[in-house]
Structure 1
Amino acid sequence: MKTERKYGEIHPGIKWGPFTMRLPGYHLKLNPSQHIQGGLILLATCGSITPLMMNYFQVSFEVAWTVSLVMLFWVLAQTILFGDIYAAGAITPALPLTLVYMNTLNPGIEAIQGMMALFIVVSLLFLFFGATKLGEKFNAMIPVALKGGIIMGAAIAAFQSEINRLPDMPFSLITSWIIVLVLMFSIPFSKLPDTRSKIMAGSNALLLSLLAAGIVGFFTGEMTYTMEWGFFIPPVTETVTTLSIWAVGLPPFEVFLAVIPIALVIYVLAFGDLVVAHTLLKGADKARKDEKIDINPTRSHFVLAARNLGQIMTAGPLLWIHGPIWTGVQVFLIERYKKGQSVMKSIFDGPMNFYIMAIPLGLLLPVIAIIMPIFPVALSISLLLTGFACAYVAMNLVKTNISRGLVLAIGMLTAVHGPVWGIGVGVVLYLLLIGRHGEKSDESLSISDDEEGDKNKAAS
């Protein structure tokens, strides 16, 4: 079996249908230096919604943590089992809007069925637009101002949730916010000389912000650490009987109808993630001529459908919707990839090494005891970065003052009253203020099927 690629070829693996399996240590080179850092960051970020799941789904910590560990399996499967090119993640901008929807449901079975219906409808959208390749046309049909308003809604909902959370942990949250914003977005910081310390700090912004918040939280009394020893034994039977589709059953038809608007919004956000990922990988492809990067949007749609359906069939829904890319990690891995084969042999090595230790670490009680108090901070950082990025993306999509005002209005309605009100009122306002012919934008939301064809030819 081929494990070494020739110069300029796609990295080899085991083909099955439209997918390619690549095994760690056989097709992909293990890099232990990335295992601990990646595993801890992934656990802290993924586990950050554990308290929310306990609240909305009325389940124990053990069940909620088990569902998160299953999510990590499907995240890793994107690289190893399905062979997609991106560093997998969740559709993070959808989380604030999902929480708005969850707040309209009763905790327990109603919330579980609502989230399950959302998973199923989003998965069907991925299958439909992947099979028909109509995703780009569907996104082109949505007016830019309306799309910007939806994205702004995610930003406002994210900021609103964190402002409400601030009184509970003011010192820890403010510390983490300042560090992550300075290291990732500060113009003065970016103008400093590119020393090794600066590069290391920027590359580990998430980890540093969590460590600093953990230390501050300990000394201010906002966090309490209780060390435990041993192994976490996932309560598989309880999880399946509580949350899986086999035990809960299909949600009522009216629940499916209710989630269609938010599912369409989530698909738009996911398509935007694919475009961002596509752009990042094109830059990596130009930097390294020894490996052909196989960007295939149709395959990506099928992988996302499989991951989301796999999640509800194996452990039930969670509050994250599986998405194509964890942007911060993807940028970090691409920068490492650009440094050459001595640092990262294949583009697939990066996500595999960054994610592979997350589940083993998540089964160690000492690790769980250390990161549990940091969960609220990890969630806060995720939502803050989501809000910050969504806000500037939304405002950058439109070029006139009327459109900017419309984006803000739609965003407020979406964040406060949900996507149905945001989209409905937004369409009316768009027709009244801008007109059906719309206006031009510099937006570039496209994934070329011609380019995809060129990649497939290279593969063959």
Structure 2
Amino acid sequence: MIKKRKEGEIHPGLKWGPFTMRIPGIHLELTPSQHIQGGLILLATCGSITPLAMQFFDVSFDVAWTVSLIFLFWVLAQTILFGDVYAAGAITPALPLTIVYLNTLTPGAEAVQGMIAISIVVIVLFLFFGITKLGEKFNALIPASLKAGVIMGAAIAAFSGELDRLPEMPITLITAWVVVLVLMFSIPFSNLPNTKLKLIAGSNALLASFIVAGVVGLIAGELTFDISWGIFVPAVGEAFSTLSIWAVGLPSWEIILSAIPIGVMVYVLVFSDLLVAHTLLKDADEARKDEKIDINTNRSHYVLALRNFAQIVTAGPLPWLHGPIWTGVQVFLIERYKKGRKVMDTIYSGPANFYLLAIPLGLLLPVIGIIVPLFPVALSVTLLLTGFACAYVAMSMVSNNISRGLVLLIGILSASVGPAWGIGVGIVLYVLLIGRNKENLPVGDEDSEKEQKAS
């Protein structure tokens, strides 16, 4: 018997501290139609980080895949265990910057400690700004040009990485790029009549790009599938003894200090994610009066700190961090939520049902055999969308040509020589080129202001 809520109330659950546990089948209705689709998309996207973990941390596939499955457990915990309202994900915009940082470290224990250091810095920032409630003030203090430069750095790093990967499987990757960009961003496609086929394709753009690229890659000879039957036995002990903080130890102060600039950049990106998520959920809240959506940014800070802490102590890090929202999935789920209570009873049942089968599916060898060859495609599409979205968001944050040039320069420095250079040079140039209260002038107003002063 599913526990129901009264009209206009927060959905019920088991309160513990600032959190609320909501158990599928008891507090949340089960929607089997979402299980397979969501589980496969989550596995392919999250699993795409597995080759990077193998490369940077010098571990086997079994270890990297095990850590990815544990990562998925803590993703699901955001909804079920902690009761935060967002569809959880990774801090994908930070991944290109993280890759730049890890490339400066020796693969193996040093790289693992470097990623743990980033995690520690980010955890401390989440706790500090959650406890003090200063996150919004900190975000407001950072000029738009500097924030946009951080985001542009993620875009440039993402695009450059994918251009390097392109010669490995050009036909497959270009096919995936075209499919996902058309379905998600094409103006001519969006202007087509809203047929059922169009709605299904648009709502499953990621899955569609994987399927089409997989078929094309197989025909082109760029992909091969080796499918076997059986159950994957997670290498929990080996993962714990290889990657966890208990095995590799705390990173040195030198490594922690080197991780601070990228940690600050990550926090800026996360706060931007929280603002986007807040806006999306406010829209959903207005569309449905039968449920009060419990949005609490400070609680979200605690949840993110706990998820990232749990990751490094239970399994070890991956080359990305736990983040508040998977934007594409969140938008998809909110659109379903707006259709009414018969389609989605509560905002919490969306991510719970979408993510629920990811780990069980990830234990089936036939599923792994299909997904593993698609890892390069999934990672490429993830980074392409990250770069595409980060680029237009960064440019939309500034309104004059000097700021746009500064944003591009900060982005290039961050992506090529590291976040510390990007932030440091960016601050100096911001003071010299823009100064106080000048960057929000519309294009062309710089000249008109000079004319007014001259007269």
Q: TM-score, normalised by structure 1?
A: 0.95
One-letter code of the match for 2:146? L
One-letter code of the match for 1:96? P
**Within 2, Cα distance between the matches of 1:418 and 1:141?**
22
**Within 2, Cα distance between the matches of 1:403 and 1:308?**
34
Provide the residue aligned with 2:180 in structure 1: 180
Residue 339 in 1 paired to residue 344 in 2?
no
Provide the residue aligned with 1:156 in structure 2: 156
Provide the residue aligned with 1:415 in structure 2: 415
Provide the residue aligned with 1:125 in structure 2: 125
Provide the residue aligned with 1:256 in structure 2: 256
Residue 198 in 1 paired to residue 198 in 2?
yes
Q: How does 1:279-318 map to 2 (within 5 A)?
A: 279-318=279-318
Q: How far does the alpha carbon of each residue in 1:129-160 deviate from its partner, in whole angstroms, 9 at most, with x for none?
A: 00001001111111111111110000000000
Question: What is the Cα deviation at residue 441 of structure 1?
Answer: 7.7
Q: How does 1:126-145 map to 2 (within 5 A)?
A: 126-145=126-145
**Within 2, Cα distance between the matches of 1:210 and 1:12?**
37
Q: How far does the alpha carbon of each residue in 1:6-42 deviate from its partner, in whole angstroms, 9 at most, with x for none?
A: 0000000000000000000000000000000000000
Provide the residue aligned with 2:82 in structure 1: 82
DSSP-derived class of the 1:4 partner: coil
Provide the residue aligned with 2:10 in structure 1: 10
Do the aligned residues in 2 keep the contact of 1:121 with 1:256 (CA within 8 Å)?
yes
**Within 2, Cα distance between the matches of 1:348 and 1:50?**
28
DSSP-derived class of the 1:93 partner: helix
Provide the residue aligned with 1:447 in structure 2: none
Residue 267 in 1 paired to residue 273 in 2?
no
Question: What is the Cα deviation at residue 437 of structure 1?
Answer: 3.9
- Shift in CA distance, 354/2, structure 1 to aligned 2, threshold 3 Å: closer
Do the aligned residues in 1 keep the contact of 2:2 with 2:28 (CA within 8 Å)?
no
Q: How far does the alpha carbon of each residue in 1:187-231 deviate from its partner, in whole angstroms, 9 at most, with x for none?
A: 111111111111111000000000001001111111110111100
Q: How does 1:3-402 map to 2 (within 5 A)?
A: 3-402=3-402
Provide the residue aligned with 2:426 in structure 1: 426
**Within 2, Cα distance between the matches of 1:140 and 1:439?**
14
DSSP-derived class of the 2:15 partner: strand
Question: What is the Cα deviation at residue 3 of structure 1?
Answer: 1.9
Structure 1 residue ranges (4+ consecutive) displaced by more than 6 angstroms after TM superposition: none
Do the aligned residues in 2 keep the contact of 1:183 with 1:205 (CA within 8 Å)?
yes
Provide the residue aligned with 2:451 in structure 1: none
Do the aligned residues in 2 keep the contact of 1:2 with 1:13 (CA within 8 Å)?
no
**Within 2, Cα distance between the matches of 1:123 and 1:239?**
22
DSSP-derived class of the 1:15 partner: strand
DSSP-derived class of the 1:352 partner: helix
Question: What is the Cα deviation at residue 237 of structure 1?
Answer: 1.0
Question: What is the Cα deviation at residue 168 of structure 1?
Answer: 0.4
Question: What is the Cα deviation at residue 438 of structure 1?
Answer: 4.2
**Within 2, Cα distance between the matches of 1:341 and 1:209?**
30
One-letter code of the match for 2:253? F
Q: How far does the alpha carbon of each residue in 1:102-142 deviate from its partner, in whole angstroms, 9 at most, with x for none?
A: 00000001000000111111011101100001001111111
**Within 2, Cα distance between the matches of 1:108 and 1:207?**
33
Q: Which runs of 5+ in 2 are unaligned?
A: 443-455
**Within 1, Cα distance between the matches of 2:98 and 2:202?**
30
**Within 2, Cα distance between the matches of 1:139 and 1:294?**
22
Root-mean-square deviation (Å): 1.1
Do the aligned residues in 2 keep the contact of 1:2 with 1:12 (CA within 8 Å)?
no
- Shift in CA distance, 213/441, structure 1 to aligned 2, threshold 3 Å: farther
Do the aligned residues in 2 keep the contact of 1:91 with 1:321 (CA within 8 Å)?
yes
Do the aligned residues in 1 keep the contact of 2:2 with 2:26 (CA within 8 Å)?
no
**Within 1, Cα distance between the matches of 2:284 and 2:245?**
40
**Within 1, Cα distance between the matches of 2:415 and 2:245?**
29
One-letter code of the match for 1:17? G
Q: How far does the alpha carbon of each residue in 1:291-347 deviate from its partner, in whole angstroms, 9 at most, with x for none?
A: 000000010000000000000000001111100000000000000000001100000
Do the aligned residues in 1 keep the contact of 2:403 with 2:439 (CA within 8 Å)?
no
Do the aligned residues in 1 keep the contact of 2:2 with 2:25 (CA within 8 Å)?
no
**Within 1, Cα distance between the matches of 2:270 and 2:121?**
14
One-letter code of the match for 2:428? V
Q: How far does the alpha carbon of each residue in 1:231-258 deviate from its partner, in whole angstroms, 9 at most, with x for none?
A: 0001111111100111111111111111
**Within 1, Cα distance between the matches of 2:357 and 2:75?**
12
Provide the residue aligned with 1:457 in structure 2: none
One-letter code of the match for 1:84? D
Do the aligned residues in 1 keep the contact of 2:2 with 2:29 (CA within 8 Å)?
no
Question: What is the Cα deviation at residue 57 of structure 1?
Answer: 0.2
DSSP-derived class of the 2:20 partner: strand
One-letter code of the match for 2:327? T
Do the aligned residues in 1 keep the contact of 2:47 with 2:375 (CA within 8 Å)?
yes
Do the aligned residues in 2 keep the contact of 1:40 with 1:358 (CA within 8 Å)?
yes
One-letter code of the match for 1:413? L
DSSP-derived class of the 2:92 partner: coil
Do the aligned residues in 2 keep the contact of 1:245 with 1:312 (CA within 8 Å)?
yes
